Amino acid sequence: MHQFFLACSHPLGLNNPISRLGIMITSYRTYRYSVAPQVSKVVLWLLIANVVIFVLQQFFLNRFLGVLGLVPSRVLHGHIWQLLTYMFLHGNVLHVFFNLIFLWMLGSELERYWGSNFFLKYYLVTGIGAGVVNVLVQPYSRIPTIGASGAIFGLIIAFALAFPNRELLLYFVLRIKAKHFAVLVGLIELLALFMMPNASIARFAHLGGLVVGYFYLKREIYTWRLRRLLSGWQERAEQRAASKKLARQRQIRAEVDRILDKINTQGIDSLTARERRFLEKQGRDRV
């Protein structure tokens, strides 16, 4: 995960252009600097789970990275569990340490803001969603992807949406709002993706976490817009069908009037076979 300096100037990431950024977070209520937010319940269990699994990695789990890490080609062949397990594996001490500090600093605030159930659901959705994006963009890759960065990027966009005007201090000097910081993070990831396409960093997973998190939190708005769009299409289709039906009815009435006028002036024997069938059909339809 990227290196940030959050509150107490701790780095939060490895081998990434954003690792040169640092941020300090101010309290959204008092705007005093918050050095160490109290860890929330779900965040605490996530921290414990990640630490325990990392310790187990050092003893024997590293040999199973091909089974527990996210390997796109294997996911497409049924190893669906990797979309979950990869989130709890990390490459080294700094990797897990930085990710967990970020989880603690942002996750604790978001859990208190949302509630534990929604926070846990969101964390898993963004982590798994980032994995799905990673699989879709490189389905034939056999290289394992590990780490919680996808979910962490989900927390970044969530924090920006929950507290858009919260001020952050980059390197303790440059003030930037959380909403602008999320955009900056996304742009840096995009630039790095094009400038260093072969780097051993799952940038698609990072961007996937941002995108999945954004649309998950905005899904009600976009669902409403989609329903409105579909409803508009249906309404216009019904209007076109009604217009065609009305035009057809007018044509039929005009033809009936013409035939009746012909009968009045020339007699019924003057009708052609087609005109007789037409009148008979209209008579049956009216009955």
Question: Are 149 and 206 contacting, i.e. CB atoms less than 8 angstroms apart?
Answer: yes
Domain count, the chain: 2
**Co-location of 204 and 240 in the same domain:** no
Alpha-carbon torsion 218, 219, 221, 222, what sign?
positive
pLDDT at residue 27 tops 80: no
Digit-coded pLDDT (tens) for 244-271: 888 888 888 888 888 888 788 888 778 7
- The pLDDT confidence band at residue 86, using thresholds 50, 70 and 90, is very high
Query: Does residue 228 lie within any of the structural domains?
Result: no
pTM over 0.85, yes/no: no
Torsion of CA 40, 203, 137, 69, to 10 degrees: -60
**Co-location of 198 and 151 in the same domain:** yes
pLDDT of residue 47: 96
95 part of the active site: no
206 part of the active site: yes
**Rounded CA separation 181/172 (Å):** 14
pLDDT of residue 285: 65
Q: Which of 206, 231, 243, 270 is catalytic?
A: 206
- The range of the structural domain enclosing residue 260 comes to 236-286
Q: Which of 9, 73, 149, 231 is catalytic?
A: 149
pLDDT at residue 284 tops 60: yes
**Co-location of 120 and 249 in the same domain:** no
pLDDT at residue 29 tops 70: no
Digit-coded pLDDT (tens) for 199-244: 556 788 889 999 999 999 988 777 777 777 777 787 787 788 888 8
**Co-location of 204 and 250 in the same domain:** no
Query: Does residue 113 lie within any of the structural domains?
Result: yes
